[in-house]
Amino acid sequence: MNHGQIGFALAMVLAGMAAPASAQPAGTFVNPIFPGGGQDPSILRWAGAYYLVQSRGGAIRVFRSPTLTGFGETEGVRIWWDRKDGSRLNQLWAPELVALDGKFYIYFAAATDGHRSRRMYALEADSPTGPYRFKGKVADRSDRWAIDGSVLEQRGKRYFVWSGWAGSEPDQGQNLYIAAMRNPWTIAGERRLLSQPDQAWEKIGREPINEGPEALHHDGRLFLVYSASHSMTDDYCLGMLTYQGKGDPLDARAWTKSSGCVFSKNLAGGVFGPGHNTLVLSPDGRETWNVYHADAVSGCGWRCRTIRMQKVTWRKDGTPDFGVPVPIGTPVPVPSQVP
């Protein structure tokens, strides 16, 4: 598809996004859930509201909504940007919002001197919308290239999980690493290799990639959902590691990798490159929702990404079923509400 075709197709997508809500059946919503495009969603459910964090226009913004489908009606609060305060960070990527120990933390990747200088950093606040304090770099002793940091908790212990390079160059692709945490902004000990893109479905695009790890707890089981292959491709997808229930979470042998993508493109429905997700409960806490970004235009890469969501169901064996990505404009039942 050439640039003219992509531009026309994207215009049609945006026109569809602007369709009036009155055309939807009652009790439903349509994707995308966030206007104007978006990527790498992170949503925190807290005190009866939802908080979405995004990197936009060189700044990190937090959007508050009483529902998962109401972000189009909110204005974001700009909570961090490149300032002359000693941090000197730019190219802010994939912020992740979490609540830990009575505080709120945003982990994000940023560069100081070009792409190879990209590392993880942490902000702290007393409220999801700030003001935020800069806590510094989140890194182990190797201090290698790092993005997409998130927190995993298991049996009272806390771990930091992220995507990084084995060395100083991207020639080996991006792996998933894990390390114990001393506190919400400090890693304790060395990083441990958790997963590397060693399967064909993880190697599509410029480099083989594992990134965007997100923990998923359900009925006493632990899963780590991640994104595989290059995010510029139609074949970007979700993979999954399953914790076996015993053994050290720092040990890759305690985890089993899925045999293929657990959530991938829908050619018939016009959904391409679905990935980099966040997992959040419905208002009544009974449903798990997968919030992710995807393209509606094949070959459009980063330019056409929008944020969508759909419900996760559960198989009899206790594993999640992410289903097939639904096309933009398809009515989807709203998340279950508090009675």
Q: What string of DSSP letters covers 3-50?
A: HHHHHHHHHHHHHHHT--GGGSPTTEE-S-SSTT---S-EEEEETTEE
From 211, 214, 234, 235, active-site residue: 211
pLDDT at 169: 82
pLDDT tens for 317-337 read 999 999 999 999 999 999 999
Which of 92-96, 164-168, 269-273 is least confident? 164-168
Per-residue model confidence (pLDDT) at position 84: 53
What residue segments make up the domains of the chain, in order of their start? 3-19+26-329
Mean pLDDT of 10-21: 46
Range with the lowest mean pLDDT among 75-89, 270-284, 289-303, 316-330? 75-89
**Annotation says 211 is catalytic:** yes
Is residue 201 within 8 A of residue 185, CB to CB? The reply is no
Q: How many Cβ atoms are within 10 Å of 200's Cβ, its own excluded?
A: 10
Separation in Å, CA 162 to CA 148, 211, 216: 5, 7, 15
Reported as half-sphere exposure (CB side, CA atoms, 13 A), residue 148 has a value of: 28
Which CATH code of 3.40.50.2300, 2.40.170.20, 2.115.10.20, 3.40.50.300 fits the domain covering 3-19+26-329?
2.115.10.20
Catalytic residue among 40, 140, 148, 214: 40
Task: Label residues 111-148 b or e (16+ Cβ within 10 Å = b).
Answer: beeeeeebbbbbbbbeebbbebebbebbbbeeebbbbb
- Catalytic residue list contains 287: no
Confidence of residue 12 (pLDDT cuts 50, 70, 90): very low
Token representation of residue 238: 């979700």
pLDDT bracket for residue 64 (50, 70, 90): very high
121, pLDDT greater than 50: yes
